[in-house]
Structure 1
Amino acid sequence: MSHYDVAVIGLGIVGANAVYATARAGARVLAIDAGLPGAGTSGTSFAWLNSVRKEPEAYHRLNVAGMSAHRDLARDLGDDGAHHFGGSLEWADAGDGERELRARVERLAGWGYAAEFISRERAAAMEPGLEFPGHVREVAFFGADGWLDAPGLIRRLLSAAASKHGAEVRERAPVRSFRACGDRIEGLVTDGGETVAESVLVCVGPATQAFLEPLRAMVPVGRAPGLLAVTSPPGAKLDRVVHAPGIHLRPDAGGGLLLGTEDVDKLAVSAGASANLPELAAILLERAGRVFSGARGVKVVDSRIGVRPMPADGHTIAGRIPGYANAWVLATHSGVTLGALLGRLIADEIVRGASSPMLAPFRPDRFVA
């Protein structure tokens, strides 16, 4: 029977960061996924590194720390090719949308976030392919933002954890059940038999609630679907994340553009069938062409609906699973931004016994009556 210090279940961006951090901290780690690492939520995420709409202030600051942790991780891994910094640009419709954006920029700047308004001329110099409506004289610029090639980073993290720190990675190995005794999980049962780990960390994203039901643990995590479209390479270069009315877009790691927006997400959910994806992706493409000249003439080469985890109160869940002394859970809607930080903090907690005050508002036991 195999024996490990830590078993990490689920190898998306959060789980892969946890594997890397726990193995780097000296633990003997088993990294296990029911499918292929990064093939779930992380592979269908817009992957915007930011803290632009993360409130209240405690959650905003957690995400700011997450952005800083990604910069540390990029330096640690060397030229990983997955992190793309340079900021993001945003403008809004005249009226309520513009007033909300101005209030948000002022609030974020007051919190010390890199948020400011720049002239449309400066924004156009940054991204020559962008085309702004006549009423837009200034554009919001969030200078610390970036985007992430999440699948690429997952591969790099797991490779480094295995080759440099001795972690064992198992793909296509679903955990079928747990063997628990009292307040401890003593074994994980897979098709290959039972595995024993001193500590267990669950990072299964939108499957969290169903996965933990056999343990009678209250960790309420819902599912938030979203549609993304990937295009062929554009005729003009785009370097940054852009949010315009009705569309958000950024470069894709494959050389095209990645497109999405909230109201089309809702259409995709209500349609409930993949047969409508080409029509919905065409909406995204048409809107992108209104604001970015390089999007005209490109084709949609892929469209997919991803399902992201959504904790019941909208905020990250990080800590011991209620009722268990040796089992932890991480679940968050902000997995891309927070992955590097959560991995590091939970590794400190599991391996070194060092709890971070930063996670105090986000513990799972807040849901226990």
Structure 2
Amino acid sequence: MTHALPGYLCPEDGTRGDVRTAPWCCPLCGGPWDLDFAPDPAAPLEPAAGPPSLWRYAPALPLPGAFSVSLAEGHTPMVPLAERIHAKLDYLMPTLSFKDRGAVMLAELARRLGPERVIADSSGNAGTSVAAYCARAGLSCEVFVPEGTSVKKTEQMRAHGAAVRIVPGGREATAEAARAAADAPGVFYASHVFNPYFLHGTKTYVYEIWEALGGRLPDALVVPVGNGTLLLGAALAVEELARRGVRAPALIAVQAQAVSPLAAAFAAGAEDAEPVAQLPTLAEGIAIPAPPRARQILAAVRKSGGTFLTVPDDRLREAQRDLARRGLFVEPTAAACWAAVGPDAPGDPLQGRTAVLPLCGAGAKTGLA
């Protein structure tokens, strides 16, 4: 029931908001919400007894009661890539992207709130995920995408029944257009950046690793970072599992060299990131020049004892092809982590540590770079 839904909490100024009535961002600072929720570490967590989807971790999720929206998302396999490195195949999701983890949470939340329509903005994968899960939930959906978005991705959105609004300009212009529309009455803004329920969906990525490894985590989690939705979800899960006695791994964040505001801020010792130019890169999914959650991302990486790595397009291209030769066909963005820590990476970025990295999106969506 909606009255039991955890409320919003601004991490910057402490403002609170009721999920049923609050605006999509903090009304004081305009920043993204966090969620006033922490699972009980004493509550039994027995995923093997649950359904074959991310809802198997229901005791750790913020949506109480029975759920009705699912496409059996999650529970993706892990395979070895190299000595001490495993890949988690999150491109084997219903819409071929890890974004299904967050989209199913937003769709279930929206179903409970009953809006007239759902709006999302995306460079591709989040939009296809939201479109699919809105279709599953019987919700009207409109997705704003930047011009130049993969035709395969926009076709997928339309196939799910979503209206697609193509916005001139880049990712930031698209977000601005969607946020303007999100202020209209009767609209639920299914933002994978601003709505914290999305992060509580992506955190199941780490819960699945914990389950697959028999109740432990690797030394390091290597994560591609643009808006940081997977990394911040991972940080949530690491913190929650630490309360259950699980040793916390380092978070190694990977950005495209062409658009790397977070890596630059980390190297400078800054608490926030300065916006950078929107330059072209093969890793379009992480090419975010001004991430709204920059402060949280930087703090999470530092707290974990991790670091940032950047990869140029030539290494991205080769990493994508190398993974394909190993039987794993992913889009260029999904190859970023392998480019950063794989055998062709300069130096020894993992320093002998065990690691898991995600392969986040299928190559069928984009083709070879």
The alignment's TM-score, normalised by the length of structure 2, stands at 0.29
The alignment's TM-score, normalised by the length of structure 1, stands at 0.29
Which has the bigger relative contact order, CA under 8 A and spacing at least 6? 1
Larger radius of gyration: 1
